[in-house]
């Protein structure tokens, strides 16, 4: 009977939250959470974390996440791991990520792999990173698949194998992972790659750039500036670098963008601005490049 009442009360809190009545949701969640209701504890923690209906308080969020996580609440364990990560307490993050990871949660497996890969709060260990990335990647986690590509590409924890790297990158790219698309562009462009193909590099850079990947936008601009794999076109290069510079401040991007901008005439800058307008339209980047260049 009590369980039924708690479910009704819990659903009332969800409705209040969805209607923006955060004070009511907070009050109800708190009343249920103290009784040990794991979902209420998790939702209460999320409200403290996001500052909904209460001042943001990460310590209080961690307290409620921990209570839910101790009951086996997977989402709470994941959020607690992420929260400790933002606090640079990777030892605690690793502990909480491992709980759902060993039970097969792909997101947690990726997180554990990333901690070992970066050596955060523990010794850097590419072989352990490989183990966890592989488990997550086998379940279709695109970010883990991209990381598998990097391990094979750079020979970290495995024997360097460009073809295996390409295989993993392509699996991630097929799911829309822009970092994997960018890496495939890098992979196809670099002189050291066993699968060097400039047309492929352009294709992958374009796909990643169209989805907002700043590094791809810059490197695509570099190829147009250098005439590497495409006809040289400083106007298109400047437009792409402008697009990249608006996404995130980067000294290297800004330096190249500024230097090229000072070398262009006012007429060329106007043309670049027109190209930029077309590139920036949602879903229009590849079409605009075809319009303004001779790329086939």
Domain boundaries, the chain: 1-71
* Residue that is written with structure tokens 């290297």 in the block: 252
Stretch 27-56: mean pLDDT, rounded?
94
DSSP secondary structure of 20-69: T-HHHHHHHHHHHHTTT-HHHHHHHHHHHHHTSSS---HHHHHHHHHHHH
110-145 pLDDT per residue, tens? 999 999 999 999 999 999 999 999 999 999 999 999
Beta strand spans in the chain (E):
none
* Residue that is written with structure tokens 């990097």 in the block: 150
The pLDDT score that the predictor gives to residue 187 is: 84
Residue 2: partners with Cβ closer than 8 Å, 6 or more residues away: none
The CATH class for the domain spanning 1-71 reads mainly alpha
The pLDDT score that the predictor gives to residue 70 is: 95
CA dihedral 278, 281, 287, 290 (to 10 degrees): 30
Is the per-residue pLDDT at 288 higher than 60?
Answer: yes
Banded pLDDT at 102 (limits 50, 70, 90): very high
R_g over Cα of the chain: 24
Is the per-residue pLDDT at 33 higher than 90?
Answer: yes
In angstroms, the CA 111 to CA 154 distance is: 20
Banded pLDDT at 196 (limits 50, 70, 90): confident
Q: Is 171 helix (H, G, I), strand (E, B) or coil?
A: helix
The pLDDT score that the predictor gives to residue 83 is: 94
Tokens of 39: 């979902």
Stretch 251-280: mean pLDDT, rounded?
92
pTM score: 0.85
Phi, psi of 10 (to 5 degrees): -65, -45
Residue 81: partners with Cβ closer than 8 Å, 6 or more residues away: 92, 93, 94, 95, 96, 97, 108, 111
Residue 39: partners with Cβ closer than 8 Å, 6 or more residues away: 10, 68, 73
Banded pLDDT at 195 (limits 50, 70, 90): low
Measured in residues, the chain has a length of 296
Contact of 121 with 89, CB cutoff 8 Å: yes
Chain mean position to CA 38: 28
Banded pLDDT at 251 (limits 50, 70, 90): confident
In angstroms, the CA 149 to CA 168 distance is: 5
Burial class (CB in 10 A: 0-12, 13-18, 19+), 294: exposed
């Amino acid at each position: 009977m009590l369980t039924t009442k708690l479910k009704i009360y819990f659903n009332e809190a969800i409705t209040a939250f969805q209607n923006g009545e955060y004070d009511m949701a907070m009050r109800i969640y708190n009343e249920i959470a103290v009784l040990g209701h794991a979902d209420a504890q998790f939702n209460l923690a999320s409200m403290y974390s996001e500052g909904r209906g209460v001042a943001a308080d990460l310590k209080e969020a961690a307290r409620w996440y921990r209570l839910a996580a101790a009951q086996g609440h997977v989402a709470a364990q994941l959020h607690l791991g992420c929260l400790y990560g933002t606090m640079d307490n990777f030892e605690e993050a690793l502990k909480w990520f491992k709980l759902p990871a060993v039970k097969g949660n792909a997101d947690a497996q990726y997180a554990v792999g990333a901690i070992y890969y970066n050596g955060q709060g523990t010794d850097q260990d590419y072989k352990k990173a490989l183990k966890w990335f592989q488990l997550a990647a086998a379940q279709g986690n695109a970010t883990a698949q991209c990381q598998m590509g990097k391990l094979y590409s750079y020979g970290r924890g495995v024997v360097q194998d460009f073809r295996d790297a390409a295989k993993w990158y392509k699996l991630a790219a097929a799911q829309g992972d822009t970092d994997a698309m960018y890496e495939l562009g890098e992979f196809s462009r670099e002189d050291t790659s066993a699968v060097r193909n400039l047309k492929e590099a352009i294709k992958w850079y374009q796909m990643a750039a169209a989805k907002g990947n700043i590094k791809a936008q810059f490197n695509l601009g570099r190829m147009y500036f250098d005439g590497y794999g495409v006809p040289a076109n400083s106007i298109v290069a400047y437009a792409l670098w402008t697009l990249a510079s608006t996404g995130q401040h980067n000294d290297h991007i800004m330096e190249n963008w500024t230097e090229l901008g000072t070398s262009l005439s006012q007429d060329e800058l106007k043309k670049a601005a027109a190209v930029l307008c077309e590139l920036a339209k949602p879903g229009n980047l590849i079409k605009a490049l075809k319009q303004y260049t001779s790329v086939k």
